[in-house]
Chains A and B, each alone.
Chain A
Amino acid sequence: MPQHLSYLKETTSQTAGPYVHIGLAPKAAGFEIYQKELGENIAGSKAEGEQIRVEGYIIDGTGTTLKDALIEVWQANAEGIYAHSEGGGEVEDGFRGWGRVITNFKTGKWGFNTIKPGSTLARNSGMQAPHINLWLVARGINIGLNTRIYFDDEVRANSIDPVLNLIEWENRRHTLMAKRSTDNDIPIYRFDIRLQGKDETVFFDV
């Protein structure tokens, strides 16, 4: 008899359901309970770098916007450092780089303000283009979906990004590009997430 491998098995994912706000954003569910809700301020007040806003919709296979979804964002600071012991260095006071964003119950629009992240170290050598990591949960989504927001004005950095280049179908890479417009006080990047159908967003198994 060979010996047994004694690894435990990861706990299985289940959908966050339609009432995810109660647990993760109770004010949106309609009540106040905590002194401090988490994830409202992504970059903090002392963050250096360019102030930006990112916004968009999440669209299902019928073309309808999701109105009950929750997104978590995870990003580096303008120097490309994550606020974590393995993040590559020290970040500004108050910079967490993590936040929670919910879709509007009526329109499905979501958006958040932050600073534009810098390039981060790539796996083996070189750099990854500036990007924001997203994790999306909602009713009907059995396991959280991971994707990345890249910035369409980072043409050179994007062209050598190892993750974008890993996507075999070059005609799908544009689904990860947020489009910059500067008609407002701060630059707005538009990023729509298409769960299914034409221009389905690239999602990652991370």
Chain B
Amino acid sequence: MKQDAEYYQRDPNIHPVACTPSYKSSITRSPRFSLISLENSISEITGPVFSHSDIDPGDNDLLTNFAQSNESPIGQRIILHGHVLDENSRTIPNTLIEIWQANACGRYRHKNDTYLAPIDPNFGGCGRALTDGDGYFYFRTVMPGAYPWQNYVNSWRPAHIHVSVFGASFVQRLITQCYFEGDPLIPICPIVQTIPNPNAIEQLTARLDLNATIPFDAIAYKFDIILRGRRSTLFENRF
């Protein structure tokens, strides 16, 4: 019988290296020595498990999860949906996804964000969901605005949603950012440009998905998330 074994190693050709000088704050926060490569032990193949008792059903609706009753945030209403799969195309059920984003003006609800654009009283800017049995998830939210940031004097982030996902083990843990098809700020963003591979950038760019749109309500974007796959072995294996 085939058994699950180690996870595939991360492909260094698709991930940013630690020190990427055009994203200035990486310079002093990046290790200079190489990472020590570890073969998986029990500490790596395990990871936290979440259930529906950890979250509430409405946590994935950013249009309502912070709004006053009968009010809703300003901005273009969107659905962000997709599947979580591994590199073997296996769906990953029951995994926790958390997202956070700026409001439609590009302002974050955060103590340290001082951008002059206004806070939206009806928008918190975070949501979370567990994938269903097919690895599927969806959020309802508003399209985030572009915002300026301290890097060069005229640096603007493309519209993006931050995405955190767990997978089934601590080695699959991932934080990334979801961009939106057609945004002219994507190719000139120093943070996007930390990614060495154009296909990998494409994979972070959500596609307009008219099939999933809710007519007269919200336009949809599809964003699939791929986590590290796992080797199978024909032989006994101990971690």
Contact = CB atoms under 8 A, between A and B. Distances in A.
Interface of A: 6-24, 26, 29-31, 33-36, 38, 60-62, 64, 66, 68, 72, 74, 76, 82-88, 96-98, 105, 120-125, 128, 131, 133, 135, 137-146, 148, 162-163, 166-167, 172, 195-197, 200-206
Most chain B beta carbons < 10 A, residue from A14, A83, A205: A14
B191 interface: yes
B14 A9 contact: yes
Interface string B42-61: 11111111100011100100
Interface string B1-33: 000000001110011111010010111111111
B239 A123 contact: yes
Contacts of B15: 12-13, 142-143
Contacts of B47: 74, 84, 98
Contacts of B113: 19
A204 B201 CA distance: 25
A37 B58 CA distance: 14
B155 interface: no
Given A18-B110, A60-B29, A87-B46, 7 more contacts: A10-B10, A12-B16, A14-B176, A61-B29, A123-B238, A139-B25, A200-B31
Nearest to B16: A142
Given A23-B98, A62-B28, A10 B227 contact: yes
A72 B203 CA distance: 26
Contacts of A131: 43
Interface stretch (B73-81, B84-92, B214-222): B84-92
A15 B228 CA distance: 18
Contacts, number: 268
Contacts of A145: 31
Nearest to B175: A16
A105 to B, nearest CB: 7
A24 B96 CA distance: 11
A7 to B, nearest CB: 5
B142 interface: no
A13 B227 CA distance: 10
Contacts of B126: 22-23, 26, 33
A170 B38 CA distance: 16
Contacts of B128: 34
Contacts of A205: 9-10, 35-38
- The interface residues of chain A, by DSSP majority, are classed as loop
Given A22-B125, A140-B26, A12 B195 contact: yes
Nearest to A17: B162
Contact of A7 (B88, B124, B171, B174): B88
B98 to A, nearest CB: 5
Contacts of B30: 61, 140-142, 195-196
**Nearest 7 interchain pairs by C-beta:** A23-B100, A140-B25, A98-B48, A140-B29, A84-B46, A142-B16, A205-B35
A12 B204 contact: yes
20 contacts: A10-B87, A12-B14, A14-B176, A15-B175, A19-B108, A23-B164, A66-B29, A82-B46, A84-B48, A123-B39, A123-B40, A123-B239, A128-B42, A137-B175, A140-B28, A145-B31, A162-B41, A197-B32, A203-B35, A204-B37
B122 interface: no
A40 B35 CA distance: 29
